[in-house]
Chain A
Amino acid sequence: MSAPSTAAGMLPALAPAPERGRRNVLLVGTLFAVAAGTTLFGGLLASYFSAREVARAAGEAWVPQDVVLPNVPLFVGYLTLLMSSVTAQWSVSAINGRDRRAAYVALGLTLVLGLAFVNALSFSWSQLGMVAEASRFATTVYAVTVTHLLVVIAAHVALVVVGFRALGGQFSPDNREMVVSAVTFWHFSVAVGLVVWYSIWFLVGGP
């Protein structure tokens, strides 16, 4: 296999290397991004809870008196986001079953549900009528929810790319890594949404 070297330190001649398979590169990269995103929201929520504890220890109201939380649109919005996780997973199942039409429908529904969440969140912000500098509650809430919104938008972009490629017929049960990666990121954005809803909107000032 090897031939004599031509000079000291030079390496023997070898045949061209065979192509090595790329092992779930996109999915692993997505998982690293999800890990980083998890600590990002961990940091944001830690700051929220830390500030809340300081306010409570000082005997101050955490939520300003004049702020009324729009619980109904918030709940509906996050529930919509949760439903989008189901449709996103449906798209993977559809591709596994070579059902392209179902995959288009599932991806489209996921995007629509995601947009509905964006709409519900922005409506809720307008209902809150809270300026960011008004209180520490406002600052931390906007920090968490705006960052989450950006993640949801990034997940939309990933899914749109997948959707176009699906329309081009690029995916199959043997070639679905991009779909699985995009859907994994979508699930992450949904999971973060649920944690945000529970931590900020459901618990609010307690326990």
Chain B
Amino acid sequence: MTETRAEAGSSAVEGPAGTPPERELTGPARWLTTFDHKVVGRLYLAFALAFLLVGSAAGGVLGVERINGGFQLVPSRAFAQVHTLHSEVTVLLFLVPFFLGLATYLVPLQIGASDIAFPRGSATALWTYVLGGALLLGAYAADGGLDGASTVGTDLYLLSLALLAASTCLALISILTTAVTLRAPGMTMLRTPMFTWSVVVGGGLTLLATPVLLARLIELFIHHHFGADLAALEPAGQIGWFWSIPQVYLLAVPAAGVAAEVVPVLARSRLRRNSAGIAVLGALGLLGFGAWAQVEPYADDLLYVVAGLVAVVPALALVGVLGDVVRRGHFVRKPALLLALGAVVHLLLGALAGAVLVIPGLELDPTVWTTAQVHLTLFGAGVLGAYAALWFWAPKIWGVHLGDAAGTAAFALTFWGVLLLAVPDLVSALVSDQARLTASFESDTLTTLLNGASMAGGALAALGLLVVVGDLVVRAGRKGGTRAIANPWGAATLEWATSSPPPAENFTGELPPVTSAWPLDGRDGAQDGAEAGGPVPVGTDGGSASP
């Protein structure tokens, strides 16, 4: 039999006997009315990348102000607004929704389900996110935000963040319920693919942490809406904990899950023990649950210090586990592999920076060290992990391969760009105690030089983003990429058991029996790695095959 292909080009579907065929909606009309988790997932990815462009532009403004000798582009008050805009957009409008979209698309496929648990809930979450994102940008445009002068704008700002938090919870409930209840027969939770497991761990704990953010926002809204002084509640800390230590590691768990999924497949090897990967991701998630560390004074809290220090262990373990996989396998210069390994390296660097940050007495917290730590963990690990996912699963999501040259360029620009963005800030924090959230107009030469280097790093990373978006538009959006077969990488998880992209019902044939974490083992097109931990015979060239 032939592999099934989605009939993306069809514009009409067969009606009941004797009735004319119904026209199938296309374009925006379809996007607005669909409950197909694959369309919803793709829309999530598109909106998330679009918002990342906005967040990167805001980061560019901050970078210029830090080297420009004063407030050249924006006035001093707006500088603080641009700073919070940059943080909120990159985390709440890009990083979290990107992985929600990826999970919305992939989790049902990875566990062998024909649909997501609550398709309407998932679609509602998507559009609530888009609405929340638009309102957030509108609030800033109306001089809202924590440092805004507009009362209505600030109310709108708090409301938009609450909408984003609510949409995150709604999307997670749908994804987690899918992972728990709709797994194929034989697929125990410990046999779920690494990405799905990371979503269960990271998503589950995020589902517990996000309502705490929502609680803060509700109180801030009531406080502000009825005329009280918002500054009295120190609102920056009550919102910013969501992307600070230790919560920052929780946001990086899905990126780590992507790496744990991508590296073994492309290195044509296996984790020596699947349980090791499961334990590492679980530990990273548990240590990253940070809803408790949000109100001063937490910096001297023993739990805060221990969580910050111990977070290095799972990051180091992930490097060890995946390094072992690469050592026993075959390193191929595939963009997804480079990007995934880059994400792991940045996660480790971020964890190391975090461990130094929490050491009492160093007092690095109000300095740009914190900025560098977040950049390494979220921009480095998070964004590189997101790109790795795009290059690895693009065949399944859009039915085409993304470009190798573009992927390699994106890796180089982002990996080195984020390093150049973060390392000067680390140095600057040590040598000059440079405070975060300040424009530099009276700093010394060294600090100016470091800020300039940091700005250059940010520009490189932004260039990497443009490469990614450009390649996506050309190859996936306009179908200019090489058409993908069902299982181009020779992977052994269930999403590769269906066509690329999958049909409406995900799977048209009987699923293979799931008796291990690699249900496609031994099947045509999949790596044969029956002996977990051992080297996988390289018999099938799934690396770059295309019809």
Instruction: Identify the A interface with B (CB < 8 A).
Output: 1, 3, 5-18, 20, 22-25, 28-29, 32-33, 35-37, 39-44, 46-47, 50, 131-133, 139-140, 142-143, 146-147
Are B2 and A10 interface neighbours, CB within 8 A?
Answer: yes
Task: Report the stretch among B7-15, B170-178, B422-430, B432-440 that lies at the interface.
Answer: B170-178
In the bound complex, how far is the Cα of B211 from the Cα of A18, in angstroms?
A: 38
- Per the bound structure, the CA–CA distance linking A140 and B221 in Å amounts to 11
Residue interface mask B500-527, A partner, CB < 8 A = 1: 0000000111110000000000011100
Annotate B440-461 by CB proximity to A: 1 below 8 A, 0 otherwise: 0000000000000000000000
Q: In this assembly, does B218 line the interface, its C-beta being within 8 Å of a C-beta of chain A?
A: yes
Give chain B's interface residue range (CB within 8 Å of chain A). Answer: 35 or more
- Taking the closest CB of chain B, its distance from the CB of A191, in whole angstroms, is 16
Q: Which residues of B contact A23 (CB under 8 A)?
A: 181-182
Listed stretches B41-49, B303-311, B485-493; interface member: B485-493
For A16, give its contact among B184, B509, B542 (CB under 8 Å): B509
Which chain A residue shows the least CB distance to B173?
A32
Nearest-neighbour CB distance to chain A for B171, whole angstroms, equals: 11
Q: A28-B177, A133-B223 are in contact. Are A39 and B542 (CB under 8 A)?
A: no
Q: A12-B524, A29-B118, A131-B226 are in contact. List 5 more A-B contacts (CB 8 A).
A: A9-B487, A28-B180, A28-B181, A133-B227, A140-B219
Q: Establish whether residues A40 and B212, one from each chain, have CB atoms under 8 Å apart when the complex forms.
A: yes
Residue of A with least CB distance to B227: A133
CB <8 Å contact, A39 and B117: no
| Overall SS of chain A's interface | helix
Contact B173 A36 (CB under 8 A): yes
Which of B59-67, B202-210, B273-281 lies at the interface? B202-210
Q: A11-B524, A14-B510, A17-B507 are in contact. Are A24 and B216 (CB under 8 A)?
A: no
Q: Is the CB of B181 within 8 A of A24?
A: yes
B511 to A11, Cβ gap below 8 A?
Answer: no
| A-B CB proximity, top 9 nearest | A13-B1, A43-B215, A14-B509, A40-B211, A43-B212, A9-B485, A132-B226, A133-B226, A133-B228
A143 touches B218 (CB 8 A): yes
- Distance in angstroms from A93 CB to nearest chain B CB is 25
Contacts of A146 in B (CB 8 A): 218, 222
Query: Quick check: B223 and A11 within 8 Å, CB to CB?
Result: no
Do A20 and B215 contact each other (CB < 8 Å), given the known contacts A39-B291, A139-B228?
no
> Are A47 and B215 touching (Cβ within 8 A)?
yes
| A-contacting residues, B181-200, CB 8 Å | 181-182, 184-185
B214 touches A43 (CB 8 A): yes
CA of A84 to CA of B512 in the docked complex: distance in angstroms? 48
Chain B residue numbers with a CB within 8 Å of A41 are 215
Tell whether A44 pairs with B218 under 8 Å between CB atoms, given A8-B525, A14-B510, A29-B173. Answer: yes
Contact of A22 with B219 at beta-carbon distance under 8 Å, contacts A11-B509, A11-B525 already known: no
